[in-house]
Amino acid sequence: MRLLVTGGAGFIGSAVVRLAISRGLEVVTVDALTYCGSRENLETVAYARGHSFIRADVTDRDAISDILARHQPDVVFHLAAETHVDRSIDDPLLFVRTNVLGTATLLECLRAYRDLLPGVRADALRLIHVSTDEVFGSLGADGCFDETSPYRPNSPYSASKAGADHLARAWGRTYGLPVVVTNCSNNYGPYQYPEKLIPVAILAAVEGRPIPVYGRGDNVRDWLFVEDHAEALLRVAEWGRPGETYCIGGGAETSNRALVEQICDQVDAALPGARRRDLITYIADRPGHDFRYAIDPAKMRDQLAWRPRTPLREGLARTIRWYLDNPDWWTRARARAAAGAPDAVEHARWVGGPSL
């Protein structure tokens, strides 16, 4: 089975690539290397047998068509996306371009590619369209999202992902494209770009800076360790049915306040000498902030025999240890963000490697 992973140098995408390579699968990684995508995320598998990297933008129809024709994947994981809610509030059209137009472009390229495949291969082709629980909007104190939940996005980010989901389903229904949609809860783990809550809290705690928490920290999220998510996506690729949706959750609900307090306590244990809870600083809430997300993963459990394996406390410990052990990675990630552009130096040092 040959995989193609769009956004494969990002946080979740690189976890999928690393796991697939570890299982002996062939992988073509496609990424535009914007501020949050880095080939450093693939350093452990960069020269692995069966892995190649191509720098391309998912909105570039000619490039994506050429990649499909040359590499002829059996499964395409679509993870190329802008994902940060705060950034979507500041620049919504960027999110529409990447998440909506990029998805439409990929769907059209895949449709043309599928039509050129022989019958058996065309029937076996799969597109795994990876989305978020945020498309369903906000929950109250009770209940969970599942595959039948209505779409009620509340931010430009979630609206753009909802639009992408609808396009994927429409191409499946209208053109018979073998699309499988997944909606996951909040991911965390190693290699997460340091703009999201958990790495922000870890690095602020390590550096003794104020740890920002929106509102009073009452918002609740269901946390999913990224390696568990990668395993779920490979399970969906192998056993998921075209036309179906699968909700992937971590079963680890907690408020933002309790989560940050747990991070502070674990950093205190790793780096004794300070009480990091004193650094927690409550700031003005962001517009349209959803109160609660939670996922019912029963379909994944019952039909695909998948369960999350990493408890939140263990996952946080592994994540904190990774950030403590890899200061060069997050220092360079911050530099890319400050520059507001891909890291040309980082890309240049890979010339002569497996990049095509």
Q: What angle do CA 120, 178, 119 make, to 5 degrees?
A: 15
Please state, in angstroms and rounded to a whole number, the distance separating the CA atoms of residues 104 and 167: 7
Q: Provide the residue count of the chain.
A: 356
31, 40, 82, 134: which one is catalytic?
134
> Token match 């929106």: residue?
214
* CB under 8 A, 24+ apart: contacts of 47-50: 47/353, 47/354, 48/21, 50/21, 50/24, 50/25, 50/26
157 is catalytic: yes
Q: Provide the β-strand partners of residue 51.
A: 27
31, 40, 82, 133: which one is catalytic?
133
Describe the strand order of the beta sheet including 220-225 as a list of residue ranges.
Answer: 186-188, 220-225, 253-255
157, 191, 193, 293: which one is catalytic?
157
Query: Phi then psi for 177, rounded to 5 degrees?
Result: -70, 135
Of 193, 159, 232, 206, residue with least CA distance to 36? 193
| Active centre residues (catalytic) | 133-134, 157
